[in-house]
Chains A and B, each alone.
Chain A
């Protein structure tokens, strides 16, 4: 099952709406609260990255029997140095965005923190794609 939502750059009114729908759907189909929370956080950070940095993009999830894959891709400036962008505290968000509570330099680190695997691919001047895997808990609860 796939859920996919368009995300518009700089649309702070609608921002976060896609992650909210993803999380709500996961809970409605019976995904446990902790997994839904982790997916929601990763999707929210991915969505906000598109809103803050890109022109447009999409964010969504593929719901599989053993895991949930979060994906996001955008048309935007891309990330010149992914290792640097992964550093806690590093941010290229402009000042007006920081005044709105963003640009903590924790977006990508949060996505890594709450996912079991995170892959970021980016081309400067074209855009960025992100794939994150969140494994579902096993029946034994591990």
Chain B
């Protein structure tokens, strides 16, 4: 699945890094806590979150995430958008809540951490 497919499925507005919409995404994680994100994501994954904070983008860069989707209609502040552009982390916004966003993507074939063969320690306590 590509980032543009995620934007289409979630009816999301892409806010930054539109040049990366053809990037491949292999799995997704829904979380509102930074350390959960660091524990259960890696490159070629996206995060679905309702936490609007610059730290989401900073943490996303640490794990080489392919993108961040803000759910529940939440809008990132200008400093978050600026940081996203600086670090090259695509962000988009969807009106769907977290549970429904995850369900739509899972049903479309995008696995979570536990069902992703490349996950490290994926059989353990994944969210």
Contact = CB atoms under 8 A, between A and B. Distances in A.
A108 B99 CA distance: 28
Contacts of A106: 33, 35-36, 38-39
Given A37-B42, A41-B38, A41-B63, A101 B58 contact: no
Interface string B63-90: 1100000000000000000000001000
Interface string A3-21: 0000000001101110110
A20 B53 contact: no
A107 interface: yes
A109 B39 CA distance: 9
A53 interface: no
Contacts of A20: 58, 61-62, 87
A45 B56 CA distance: 13
Contact of B35 (A16, A19, A23, A45): A45
A55 interface: no
A109 B36 CA distance: 11
B59 interface: yes
A88 B36 CA distance: 11
A44 B32 contact: no
B56 A37 contact: no
A40 interface: yes
A104 B34 contact: yes
Interface residues of B, dominant DSSP: helix
A23 B39 CA distance: 17
B34 A23 contact: no
Contacts of B109: none
Interface string A21-53: 001000000000100010011001100100000
A56 interface: no
A37 B39 CA distance: 12
A44 B59 contact: yes
Interface string B20-33: 00000000000011
A48 B43 CA distance: 22
B33 A104 contact: yes
B108 to A, nearest CB: 27
Nearest to B86: A20
B61 A45 contact: no
A107 B35 CA distance: 6
Q: Considering residues B36, B55, B56, B63, which has the most beta carbons from chain A within 10 angstroms of its beta carbon? A: B55
B59 to A, nearest CB: 7
A67 interface: no
Contact of B62 (A12, A41, A102): A41
